[in-house]
Amino acid sequence: PAPPPVEPTGVERHNSVSLVPSSLQLRGVVTGAAAMAGTMQLLRPLVGLVTTLLSVAMFASPWREMQEMWKRGRCTQSYVPAIAQLANCSVWAVYGVAAVDAVLVAVNGLGLVLAVHFLGIFRRVVEPAEQAKFRAVTTVVAVVCMALPVYVFAVAEEGPERAAAVE
């Protein structure tokens, strides 16, 4: 006698080719996606905390070198990273204000204060031959960094429109 026909499990098959996923498989995918979303909701604050701490550490990392330059009265490194930090933190702080994200504002505000402090040290210790270039570059970056919030808050006054202005 011939064995009884076997019902396909999981996926309906025709000539060994998968045609349509079964409801059991779809239910498993949806359940898996929901579990993944729940896990992501739990991980989001942890990832946010870690990235915040890493950002603060990155912004403060030149501190020791800046102290040494201040004590010696001479420049031992490039001021370009401090200018980049000023620009980066300005943009992210403005975005944080526009998007109403206090953590972005706080972390990047701290980075902005540190960048201004570091640039003040560079202003004192940069070589006389580099002074004009240093002042020109920092002036241009500072003007752009001050113009950005004026633009953002002139374009949109509140809510999602303000956040969209910086996207």
Q: Which of 39-48, 108-117, 142-151 has the lowest mean pLDDT?
A: 39-48
The pLDDT confidence band at residue 162, using thresholds 50, 70 and 90, is low
Does 24 score more than 60 pLDDT? no
Alpha-helix runs per DSSP H in the chain: 23-60, 63-72, 80-98, 102-125, 128-155, 159-165
Does 119 score more than 60 pLDDT? yes
What is the phi/psi pair of residue 18, to 5°? Answer: -70, 125
The beta strands (E) that lie in 8-154 are given as 11-14, 17-21
The pLDDT confidence band at residue 30, using thresholds 50, 70 and 90, is low
Residues 59-113 pLDDT 10s: 999 999 999 999 998 888 889 999 999 999 998 998 888 888 888 899 999 999 9
Q: Write down the mean pLDDT value for the chain.
A: 80
pTM of the model: 0.67
Helix-helix angle 63-72:102-125, to 10 degrees:
20
The pLDDT confidence band at residue 46, using thresholds 50, 70 and 90, is confident
